[in-house]
Structure 1
Amino acid sequence: MNAMRTTLAAVSLAALSTAAFADDKATVQTFYDLLSDPGSSELAASFLEVTSEDWESIGNYSGENESRDAFVGQMGFFAQLIPDLDWSVQAMHQDGNFVTVRSRATGTPTAPFFGVDGEGRSFDIMTIDIHELEEGVIVRTYHVEDWASALQQLGGR
């Protein structure tokens, strides 16, 4: 009888944990929905709901992390520069309070991009992000994008 109770308790805990993680993955997906439609005020509002006020984007080596407000403000610029931007999630894995995402970013800039005039060329790059959550809210995002490959593609190399 004790073995049955132990098994039942373990199954119940596993089910509760799986349900909590599913919610975290849906929360993280909101980030990619905004990246794929950066001009959407509705998606920007959703992003604000799933991130903490002090959320920060950590991804460059300058030591300057990007704030949530700066990130949302940058989305309007991306909407104009890359109107067909698509940030497609390829894989998502959760381990505790961390959700790791491998994604693919594609787009065709309408003007010079990082100083490269792509003349109508598109880019297709891989990205890796690690989102840290606390109490179901994203507090920090670490990210790496293969912008060097994007510039090579846009430069026709």
Structure 2
Amino acid sequence: MKKLRLAAAVALTGLMSGAAFADDMAVVRSFYADLLTTPADATPEAVRSVVAEDWVSTPTPLGGPGAEGLIKTLNAFGGLIPDLTWEPQEILRDGNRFVVRGRATGTPQGPFLGVDPATGKSFDIMSIDIHTVDDGKIVKSYHVEEWATAIQQLSAE
């Protein structure tokens, strides 16, 4: 009987872990689909449903730390790059941490990264992000983007 209870507990834990993994994966996907892609449409409520209020991002976003800083950053990016898309190309998982290789594309409508893209040129870059998810929200992110490549693409003759 004890073995049966133990087996049931192990099976239930596996099912719960699978559900938690699916939920955490959905949160990570939402970060890109609902926040980074078309950031002008990202509401404060949407941001707070995906990242923790005290979200730690390294480096810190232009808008400042936490969920409030992300909201400010998304508003700025949404106004400057209205056609921004940021799509995961690959997502790897290790426990509650997710590594995302992403692709960002967009056409800045004003000066961006020191380049005045009056020509209407677009950029297409890669990013690597590492997100930690706890209690259904992203609590920490490390991110690297190919902004030097974006500058080259926007300033190419």
Check whether TM > 0.5: yes
Q: Any unmatched runs of 5+ in structure 1?
A: none
- 1:7 and 1:17 map into 2 onto residues whose CA distance is 15
Q: AA paired with 2:92?
A: H
* 1:57 and 1:68 in contact (8 A); partners too: no
- 1:136 and 1:16 map into 2 onto residues whose CA distance is 13
- 2:116 and 2:16 map into 1 onto residues whose CA distance is 51
For 1:11-38, what per-residue CA distance to the aligned partner results, in whole angstroms no more than 9, with x for missing partners?
5543332221110011112211211011
Counterparts of 1:76-155 in structure 2, within 5 Å, are 76-118=75-117, 119-155=119-155
User: What displacement does 1:151 show?
Assistant: 0.5
* 1:121 and 1:154 in contact (8 A); partners too: yes
Q: 1:89 to 1:41 in 2, by over 3 A?
A: closer
Q: Any unmatched runs of 5+ in structure 2?
A: none
Q: AA paired with 1:77?
A: A
TM-score, structure 2 normalization: 0.84
- 1:100 and 1:7 map into 2 onto residues whose CA distance is 32
- 1:8 and 1:56 map into 2 onto residues whose CA distance is 38
Moved more, 99-108 or 111-120: 111-120
* 2:54 and 2:65 in contact (8 A); partners too: no
User: What displacement does 1:78 show?
Assistant: 0.9
- 1:95 and 1:127 map into 2 onto residues whose CA distance is 19
Paired residue total: 152
- Show the counterpart of 1:34: 35
- Show the counterpart of 2:69: 70
For 1:36-89, what per-residue CA distance to the aligned partner results, in whole angstroms no more than 9, with x for missing partners?
0111144x41221222221121126xxxx7332112112111111101000011
- 2:14 and 2:8 map into 1 onto residues whose CA distance is 10
> Please, what is the CA RMSD of the aligned residues?
2.3
TM-score, structure 1 normalization: 0.84
- 2:125 and 2:18 map into 1 onto residues whose CA distance is 31
- 1:104 and 1:69 map into 2 onto residues whose CA distance is 24
- Show the counterpart of 1:53: 53
User: What displacement does 1:144 show?
Assistant: 0.5
